[in-house]
Amino acid sequence: MNKRLFLTPAGGALIAICFFLPWIKMSCMGTATYSGVDCGGVYWTLFGAGIAVFGAFFLFRHLKRIDLMPTIVSVSSIVSAAVIIYGVLSIAGGKRVLLFRVGPDDVNLRLQIGAYGTLIGYLLTWAGIAPMIRRRRRPSKSTQAMEGDSLSEPSAESQLKHTST
């Protein structure tokens, strides 16, 4: 088995671990850090996606259906990307406080280790399944050779059927 494939569950585990690390740091009349747990709500899907990738790898490996991993990684990445985009857009919009709008620049918003680790985790999951995607798109040389041989000369069985009638 390709050792590079183990990058996928490592990425899933990193995503799950980074969910509990600080994602953002805000400083405006004090300093506060927020992790995925602190944000809560829809952000728990990121933790679920990391656990799903990690668990699915070992389940499909045991069932000898590792070829399904690109689907799992793709679905979890798309759902997680949608949640992250939602979070970025909601933060970028800011909050209305009395007559003022307070945005990310006003509160000195900075990304922390958890945000970077989550991004690296998704890159690892994709790096692990990249060889599988390449193999799926490119037919093997033995398959092409067999198809070429069957088209160029008829098989012995078909020749026997034609001569017996």
User: Has residue 151 got a pLDDT over 70?
Assistant: no
Of residues 137 and 156, the one with the higher pLDDT is 137
Residue-level pLDDT at 131: 78
Tell me, rounded to whole angstroms, the distance of Cα 135 from its chain centroid: 18
Structure confidence at residue 153 as a pLDDT band (50, 70, 90): low
User: Which residue, 24, 22, 20, is CA-closest to 92?
Assistant: 24
Of residues 6 and 90, the one with the higher pLDDT is 6
Instruction: Tally the C-alpha atoms within 13 A of residue 20's C-alpha that lie toward its C-beta.
Output: 4
Of residues 138 and 13, the one with the higher pLDDT is 13
On whether the CB atoms of residues 40 and 2 are closer than 8 A, the answer is no
User: Has residue 14 got a pLDDT over 90?
Assistant: yes
Residue-level pLDDT at 165: 52
> Which of 133-137, 144-148, 159-163 tops mean pLDDT?
133-137
> For all residues of the chain together, what is the average pLDDT?
78
Residue-level pLDDT at 109: 78
Q: pTM, whole model, 2 decimals?
A: 0.71
101-124: average pLDDT: 82
